[in-house]
Structure 1
Amino acid sequence: MIIFVFVFFALFSVAAIGSVNVEFGEFKVQAESLKSSEERQVLLKKADDLLKTRQLTQMQTAYVLHRAGLVCIREGCFEQTVTYLARLETLLESFESLEYLGKLNLSRGNMAITRGNHFEAIPYLIAASNFFEQAELHTLSSHANRFLAHAYQQLNKYSDAVIALDASFEAAVKAENVQLEMAVARQKSAIYTSLDLIEKSLEIQLQQLQKIPYLPQKSQEFWMNDTFWGLAESYAALGEHAKSYDYFNKVHDIDKRLNGKQDQAVTLRRMGEQKVVLKQFGRAAEHFKLSLAILAELDIPLAVLDTQTYISEMYLREGKLQIAQDTLETIITQLDITKNVNAYARASYLLIDTYLQNALYEQAHRQLLITEPLKNKDIAKHYSFLAQALQGKGDLEGAFEAQNQMHLAYKNKMKEQGSLKTLVLASESEYVTGQLELKQAKAEQALLKAEQTLTRYIGFSIVAVLLFIILFVLVFTRQRRARLEQEAKHLNQALELKKQLLADVSHELRTPLAVLKLHLEALEHNLVSDPQATYKILNQRLDNLNLLISDIYELAQADTGTFNLSLERQGASELFDDLAGQVEDVLCDHDLHLEVKKSSIDKVLLEIDSARLHQVVANLSRNSIHYTDKPGEVCFALSETEEAVILSFSDSSPGVSDQDLPHLFERLFRCDKSRSRDLGGSGLGLSICEKVVEAHGGEINASHSELGGLKIEIKLLKA
């Protein structure tokens, strides 16, 4: 009987644990796809039920507590957040997890930012960044530093914000997350805009635009939207509101395609703002009306009030003072001065401006007293309005004092802005200064070496002249000097080639070897969940290194004059047919359609190394496979001139910029610096093609393709 009870209890426990694991799996799935407040409330209920079972593992419990804390931050139930995070902190005392120690501090920092306590958030976010860095969780480290930069920015500590963003960018690079790199750059651009460093902000945004075509297709539209928004904000800050409107209009078109209704509403409102500044009030009213309709449909009351505030500003600029006053008074009654601080301050100052223009000085003064706790939002504007209101009431002494306070506020603001700009630019220039100092030291070293060489040369010349005068062996001396100079030239060329080769090898091997080392260390310390996949990656990396070494070896042969060709005569038509067959074999499995164009060329012979030309075409085919959007097109064509036969190889988009086109045959040059080496190859393929063609006495050139991509043209002289 006792055995039966024990077995029954064991089976019951196993079934209960299995049921909890199923519920935990459902919890994880739901936590990754939350959209509405109702869904978040359901998830919190499920979190509490799971925690009550006490059958979760420590790692599962940590996950549930952390997720529940994040949901509570989103819902604004901060007391419950504190409880969840306190339980997580207690749990972490019993098992060590750098990841969850980082997440605990990141969540506390996030909550502090959400509540507006940016100073309180900073130590939590610094601690989170340190934990993630120790755990080599680069993506989370990048996020923590972005939060930290936001907190510093809100405290006007822009120099510290830029430093945090630099750390975030470095972590994103380590994580090989291009989109996270772009998010960091976007945040830095916003800082520059707020500091009126619009030129630097625009520079970053234009760099973002150049990267977008190389992102995954699904992400391109999002980043295009985000970058257009940044450009619109920058042009608005510059006062170029027509350009700003054009970019907001582009954002709105993308919003409609992405079906983001709330985003559409916000963009329409910003479009209306630009039209108000341009005094095109009819078009502004249309945009505001569409924005209000969407927000009313979505039932977002605060956003509706915010848009109505901008409509009131339009009435104010139009001179419709009574309509503006009535609308703003209604809006003020629906806002809470403690909960809706920014919205209340904006609406209140617009209402005060309306009162002053209507000469209602008493009402303006009364509203200024109500808004007194918010004056730090725009202290200069507050005292400007106060001076006008007091002057209208006849209190000239009070008005004079308010005027003085206004001037003092302007002076402090300008001084603070100047200091902030200086600090930000200084922090950025430190790196550049270090690089310049390094270059200067190298230049001084080179100058000293040149002076020593010159001194030796002068001494040698004097000795040569003396020998010439004394020994009368001019011919012998000249021949000897010529021989020495020729040897020195050859030696210098060999040294330069060696330096170039070493520089190329070290540049290209550093990154893949570092990646190999990281994977091996991960295998050594059992940090990899799927060793087979890691071994596959290691084999892939080693194959890439073998290809790189092979390419470098061929270039080294070309540089040292040991690049030999096995020349034989062959018909141009026959050669082209062989090459076209090779291209078709290579491209057929990569969703690229090949079109072959062959001019009628009879009895034309070429003196060529067929194997080397096959290598050239293979490199060009591989480039098209790597860099052409799928499905795509490739055109391989044969034509002739009086002296030469021309092989042309064209592919479809994406193409190469005018700036990059002249550099394609340079060693290790890649148009897209963010693209991984696994996709981009060794960066030596086109250099090898150039060497092979030049060894044949021919020419190779790159141009834009009629198909929208790249066209490589090879000219071979007729035999």
Structure 2
Amino acid sequence: MFRWLLLLMCISLLCDELMAQQAIPPESEEVRSQILDSSLSNSKRLATIIEFIKTHRRSDPDTSLEYADLGFELLKITADPSLESQLVGYMTKIYLERGELNRAESLIKHGLSAADRANSPQGLAINLFNQALLYQLDNKLVLALDSYNELKRAYIATKDISGLAAAHNNMGIIYQNLGNLEDALSHFQQALPYYTESGSKVHEANTIMNIGELLYLIGDVKQAEQNYQQGLSLITRDSAPLSFLEGHLRLAILYGDQQALSLASEHLSLATSVAKEYDLIASLLSINYEEIKLLSKQGDADKAYAVLLNVEELLRDDVQPELALGAFYFRALVAVEQKRWSDAERYIDALFENHVYDFRFFELQDALSLAFLIKRQLGKDAQANAIISEWFSRYRDHQKDNRDALIAQYAQLYKVNEAEREVEALTQQAIENENEKLRSQQQTRQVVFIFVVVSVVLSACLLLIWQRGKALKRENSLTNELITQKKRFFADISHELRTPLTVFKLKMQELEYNIADDPKRIYKLLNERIDSFNSLINDISLLAQNDKGEIELHFEHVNLREFFERRGDELSSLAAENGLNAIVDIRLTNADEGIIDAARVRQVLANLFSNACRYTHAPGKVRFKVKLSESRLYFRVEDSAPGLSIYEQRRVFDPLYRVDKSRSRKLGGSGLGLSICNDLIKAQNGTISIDNSELGGVMLSVVLPRNGGNT
């Protein structure tokens, strides 16, 4: 809701700028003298009043309204409907910006009437835009679309390219809010060439990024990323701070969802610096909410709590109600991370009591999942189930109200003005044939109204059927993809076994026919091959156990410093064998203990150490770092080997995936190691992620619960 209102006001500013860009506002004192100079013609004085209101209504709204009253007095003497429509149009904008929608609605009717009498395209465009904006602010989006369609015709008549761009852009925003992404994309694409032609870089950038957001919603993440970056390339933080901030915030959300956490943090930092520089409180709140989500994914409860304290400080200012209410979700999220279950329950209950249905920074499903976790943790299973049932019931009622509002707007488009119908009926009362005609017209309108309502209901039913069909098609696609992956897996396993078995058979034949040059070397090679087969079979068995949920875990109390120092010694020895420099950073004390599956953690570290040393060329570096918080254990392994692309990083945890298969076989390894590490860590309720390392290679980070896998 916040972003929609923000874009809406930006568009309002744009259209005002487009109307005024041809005139340079005169000095206030000179204008005042012209307005009060009775020797000038009334038309000249009216034109000066209109120009003043157009250029000064934001900086000096009270004086603008005072001059508007004088303008109405002049119109009583010199009737000029063209100037009247412009005067009313710019006066209306003051009340729209103040939020006085009832007063604005009355003036819009006045302005449209004057523009119609004068047959003035300029007056019509100004008042139609006000009407569309009124409907948009009042959340009557269907009526707003109808007004924008009428407004487009006015802009086409006057060949106003900038106005057409603004109309298409606004329509794109409305269609996006209605969930019609196809039409939203169409209007944004129509707006883009107009903005490009008009030379408005800021609005061109906004539209490109709006298209990027649509692409992100439909799952085209790569193209969405390119759109955001292209839009940002057209602006600077000084030329368009709000658009610059919004672009980096969108990128942060994208990278956060893709687990590229360091990139997400960089863009959040840029957005934060802009918000602080221009004192954009609402934007800073939005950024903080995204930062809390990111830190929660990283398992950094302490930093998340520090950001929440910033949010609490910002909420002391006068901010939009939606932003203030949404804070309850993030308070609950941080409280859960810190195991403050009672506080978490209080915050999530407050969120539900305020009926927050839609919010930019979390889905309804996220809030329900969090509530369910909190209630279950506190032993309130029945209450958890009741909350979900009640909330879904309220949400259905909310959706029904939205549908009813849409139907009412469609009906209003075809509503007949009762007063006009009565006048027309009275004037034709003497002629029976005309009365029959009027009754026939009334019946036709009723049929049209019923037809529209039925069409809306049928459209809704068809949409539900289409969505269900699409969901079934998606499920079928996923099933086929699973079968394909399974075939590919077995094919890769067969290849991994076939090649060494062929070598194994040849060497056995050399021994059988006594033609081996060095039997001892061959026996040693065969023994190594057998060990390799055993290792591969064990890896496949472990993957199969995980698929069936049968990985056995044996948790035990461990002195963490002793355990990880021994692992550090193992890394140092392995690194020395490969001519590498090992950097071991164990930030633990002798008193630090935890409950972990020591064997599984040792297995994970052995694999990470092996990979780091295998792919790092001497003289290179390998770094092992361990630290501890109150509830979580963190360790990471970094190397100076060649880095990986984002695409490669996303796939390293897939079974049998290797960046360079020929190189991997040469250096050893089946491609199952990181997949197994991922399974072992997840089995302990932990997380493992990959990112670029400052050493030049990759960094694998693991986060585990300190208390034996309990979250």
TM class by shorter chain equals: 0.3 to 0.5
Compute the TM-score of the two structures, normalised by the length of structure 2.
0.46
Compute the TM-score of the two structures, normalised by the length of structure 1.
0.46
